[in-house]
Chains A and B, each alone.
Chain A
Amino acid sequence: MRFEAAGFFGIAMGFGLSRIGFSDFGEVHRMFTFQDFRLLLTFIGAVAAILLLTRIAFGGRGERRPIHKGTAIGGILFGIGWALTGACPSIAVVQLGEGKLPALLTLAGILAGTALYPRVHRRFFRWDSGSCDS
């Protein structure tokens, strides 16, 4: 059941993100510079619909996401990277599916950052991130 769900929703999300234009650097750049509000509306509309659906199906519950020193700083680093590459983690993979070869560099960078973070955290940060993830 979980394999089927991962496969089905993986394809649906990859196809959807591509058709929405979230994997198009220009579209994402125009969202961040407020030249075009379509993607921003897509995002806000999706959050509103998820809010409603989660209320109906789960009473608004999901895994708790802990708040700590890294929440905002990490978010800022992520935002800088997203503006430079036009890619958040799933988008790099969708772009590769779309035959955009430079996304290989983006994905390599993402995987390197993902692999390095836990080491840096243990060595320098060491705050409680509320999970054994890092």
Chain B
Amino acid sequence: MTGYWPWWLGAATLSLVMSGFHLTTGRTLGVSGLYARLLRFRSERELAAKTEALRSALRKATMERFGDRAVADEAAKTTLNPAPPLSAAQGATFVVCLFLGGLLSHWLSGGELALGLGRDFASVVGGGWIAASALLGGGFLVGFGTRMSGGCTSGHGLNGCGQLQPASLVATAAFFGAAVVVSLLLRS
């Protein structure tokens, strides 16, 4: 596919997606974090059930001891807390729609299934078993590294850098620098 968007249109789209997501959900978007939540949704559900049981028991005890007004005050205070992270179902919705967005773009340009990642991938990385192990091993490094670093291109690179957070500036410099070095080595 040729004729990709000019840089300003891409920048405008990405920034509106990130800021719109932040405004409507109260959370900044981080895709690697969403994957981690989706993978541990079962233990998270157990934890949520335990937390809720503890909270309602505490509320009941508070009402018995101090009356209903104390609980009304607590409800008013908790609305000031930052928004909770996306639930597993909301995260899954996002990931499925991310897939559908790619599908829509591909379908509108009359796309077909592809068995390779393109001519550039074949000439830079290789084919066959080399390509398969590069994708599997490289993917593993992406998953492991983003969790170690606490974010990926969306969480650290776009949102974190957009808030000038020190951790995100360090992480972005690290992943971008490493990718430049490896890409230059692959090219030569």
Contact = CB atoms under 8 A, between A and B. Distances in A.
B100 interface: yes
A81 B160 CA distance: 21
Nearest to B132: A105
B99 to A, nearest CB: 4
Counting chain A residues whose Cβ lies within 8 A of the other chain, the interface size class is 35 or more
Nearest to A1: B24
A48 B27 CA distance: 19
Contacts of B70: none
Nearest to A38: B7
Given A7-B97, A15-B104, A113-B144, A86 B165 contact: no
Contacts of B27: 63
A114 B165 CA distance: 23
Interface majority SS (helix, strand, loop, mixed), chain A: helix
B114 to A, nearest CB: 5
B182 A5 contact: no
Given A6-B90, A10-B95, A82-B142, A114 B147 contact: yes
19 contacts: A13-B101, A21-B5, A24-B4, A24-B120, A45-B8, A45-B12, A57-B19, A57-B23, A71-B170, A71-B171, A72-B174, A77-B144, A79-B181, A82-B138, A100-B114, A109-B138, A109-B139, A113-B145, A120-B144
Interface of A: 1-21, 23-27, 29, 32-34, 38-39, 41-51, 53-54, 57-58, 60-68, 70-90, 92-103, 105-118, 120-121, 125, 129-131, 133-134
Given A17-B102, A125-B148, 17 more contacts: A2-B86, A5-B24, A20-B10, A20-B14, A34-B180, A42-B5, A51-B162, A60-B163, A65-B155, A65-B167, A67-B170, A68-B150, A89-B31, A90-B98, A93-B102, A105-B139, A117-B143
Interface of B: 1, 4-8, 10-25, 27-29, 31-33, 35-36, 39-40, 82, 86-87, 89-91, 93-106, 111-121, 124-125, 131-132, 134-168, 170-184, 186-187
